Amino acid sequence: MAWYDEAVFYHIYPLGLTGAPKQNDYGEPVHRLNTLIPWIDHLKRLGITALYIGPLFESVGHGYETTDYKKLDSRLGTNEDLKTFVAECHRKDIRVIFDGVFNHTGRDFFAFKDIQKNREGSAYRDWYCNVNFWGNNEYNDGFSYDNWGGYNLLVKLNQRNPAVRDYICDVIRFWVSEFDIDGIRLDAADVLDFDFMKALRGTADSVKPDFWLMGEVIHGDYSRWANAQTLHSVTNYTLHKALYSGHNDHNYFEIAHTVNYTGGMISSNIKLYNFVDNHDVERIYTKLNEKGNFEPVHILLFTLPGIPSIYYGSEFGIEGRKERYSDDSLRPCIDLKEYADAFEKNPCTKLIAALAKIHKEQPDLVNAGYQQLVLMNGHYSFARGSLIIAVNNENKEVTLNVPASAVEYTGLLRGKTVSASGGRLEIQLSPYSGEIFAPGKGEGKLIADAGEMKEEKQEAKIGKSESTQETKPEKQESIQESKLEEPESTQGTKPEVKPESEQEGKSETKPEINQEAQNKTKTASGQGNKTPENKTGTYDSLRDSKSEQKVDLDSVEIPDIPYEEMTVEQLQAVILSKMKKNGPVTDRMRKDVEENIWHNSLVNWANSF
């Protein structure tokens, strides 16, 4: 089995964590990356086995407008610093993957600078998409070009140009030979050319055994990207959305449906990259209406099929709220010394360390299939091989009765042993909690019991918030079970309630983009500031409305207004039209568009082309 299939990831945004200046003056290197060396021991103690870090390379601002792919950002230090950092991670048995920003470059990249200087005579004029010397832009270049997301700061590379393809493949080979990395996370993979990704996969397969390519994909059929020809894995934004909204809405049906839905997309040998927050979305602690649900959310993150990942700082339960024109609060500078006692006193840290330990010691969480056992709005149980997982998202104690194949089970988090009777196991769960049961009688416990956790949660702000919503009544009073000996494909009847995923996706704005230049961008790019009324609401109201309106999206007229002001149907029509320009639209692709009824999600999707 490849190392990444059984990995527990940690994600660092280095410019933020090190407190680097927002703008790069390209001056003398400042060795801020070296301040992250102590974090490696922290990761080791937390149970992390792989690190995704980036962006790292020379850029003018937030890191995604690359100036030089072969030079560590001056604000972080030198290439020698990066070599040392990766080597130290490897010494502690932690794999390292870099952020590969290959869809676009910054305006200071050598090829773009050459076009500015030599115009039509530049040898690099075809390195970018649709360079038009009859046009202009807000920078007064005297030519226009395609960009990412409506931002001319991010110049879109022509990935069908063999010279560009060869250059990026050479970058990958350089990163491996120079820094000995173990993989790459591809930024904006959902808008990368598929032949380009195949070339990257060929390079990845040749540079190092088990070299991992994981792509940032927001929407769609994940198997288009994650397969034997292109990428090994993609970001599971569908599950990300379900994990927080399924707890906020007291609706485990959404999570269970999502697990079945995403599992049906991909082949059984591919594991998706699971997360509850990252550098583009709000912190999970901020998202949760009832803070006690931090525990069941993370139990599911570590036990559902996929590769779990923790975003730096979230193991301490820190806050991070998304702002319209800045992601600074999502990417903070953190002094690790302030959390020196976190493993002893912070229940968030203790929980995640315990879950990482269980993930490492229980191969069923990596190798075994998924079988749904009990599903209600407020509680949910499933099996992974011989393990039984149960979670409760409500502020009340619940009792679950599930099929069992062993006589005794021990809770791996709290050490309590329970006995089965007549092939059934009765599980009692405290409010906002969960447990992972393994066959046999065990000893000890990895985290505090319910009473101790409650006190610690209050101290660390993980108790129920003042804004806690009232518990919603159960939508469906049935229990769905699958016998443990049934084949993996038997997962019970799918629930009637099928909340589709409102993936937040990439940031609406990448931070530190020239605001004056941005304001000059035409509203036709879909970056307007107005948010229409009555475009959001509860899932049920949107679902019911959608079911009544069976609109032929091919006949919907697309108005010349910002995406934010369009209706759901107009946005769906926009996305279909953009898909058609990129190639044939399959029934599955059309269904993905039709079933996405979330306005904000559709706006992000339309902007991603």
Residue 448 has pLDDT above 70, yes or no: no
List all residues 6 or more positions away from 215 whose beta carbon is below 8 Å from its beta carbon.
185, 186, 189, 190, 192, 197, 225, 226, 230, 231, 233, 234, 235
Among the listed ranges 30-34, 414-418, 573-577, which one has the minimum average pLDDT value? 573-577
How many whole angstroms separate alpha carbon 461 and alpha carbon 347? 10
Share of the chain above pLDDT 70, in %: 81
Provide the β-strand partners of residue 372: 382
Q: Exposed, middle or buried, 494 (CB in 10 Å: 0-12/13-18/19+)?
A: middle
The reported pLDDT for the residue numbered 475 is: 36
Angle between helices 162-179 and 194-207 (to 10 degrees): 30
How many whole angstroms separate alpha carbon 598 and alpha carbon 531? 13
Residue 504 has pLDDT above 60, yes or no: no
- Pair 314, 284: CB distance under 8 Å: yes
pLDDT tens column, 382-440: 999 999 999 999 999 999 999 999 999 999 999 999 999 999 999 999 999 999 999 99
First to last CA, the chain: 35
The reported pLDDT for the residue numbered 601 is: 61
How many whole angstroms separate alpha carbon 381 and alpha carbon 426? 12
- The owner of tokens 């991670």 is 89
Residue 530 has pLDDT above 60, yes or no: no
Report CA torsion sign: 601, 157, 273, 465.
Answer: negative
How many whole angstroms separate alpha carbon 308 and alpha carbon 300? 9
Provide the β-strand partners of residue 9: 50, 309
The reported pLDDT for the residue numbered 598 is: 62
- Interior angle at CA 265, CA 264 and CA 268, nearest 5: 70
The reported pLDDT for the residue numbered 488 is: 34
Average pLDDT, the chain: 85
Q: Is the peptide bond before 473 cis (omega within 30 degrees of 0)?
A: no
Q: Which of 230, 222, 211, 223 is nearest to 98 (CA)?
A: 211
pLDDT band at 600 (very low <50, low <70, confident <90, very high): low
The reported pLDDT for the residue numbered 584 is: 73
Residue 233 has pLDDT above 80, yes or no: yes
Residue 524 has pLDDT above 70, yes or no: no
Q: 246 or 565: which carries more pLDDT confidence?
A: 246
Share of the chain above pLDDT 90, in %: 72
pLDDT tens column, 325-376: 889 999 999 999 999 999 999 999 999 999 999 999 999 999 999 999 999 9
The reported pLDDT for the residue numbered 472 is: 36
How many whole angstroms separate alpha carbon 43 and alpha carbon 476? 42
Residue 61 has pLDDT above 50, yes or no: yes
- Pair 356, 10: CB distance under 8 Å: no
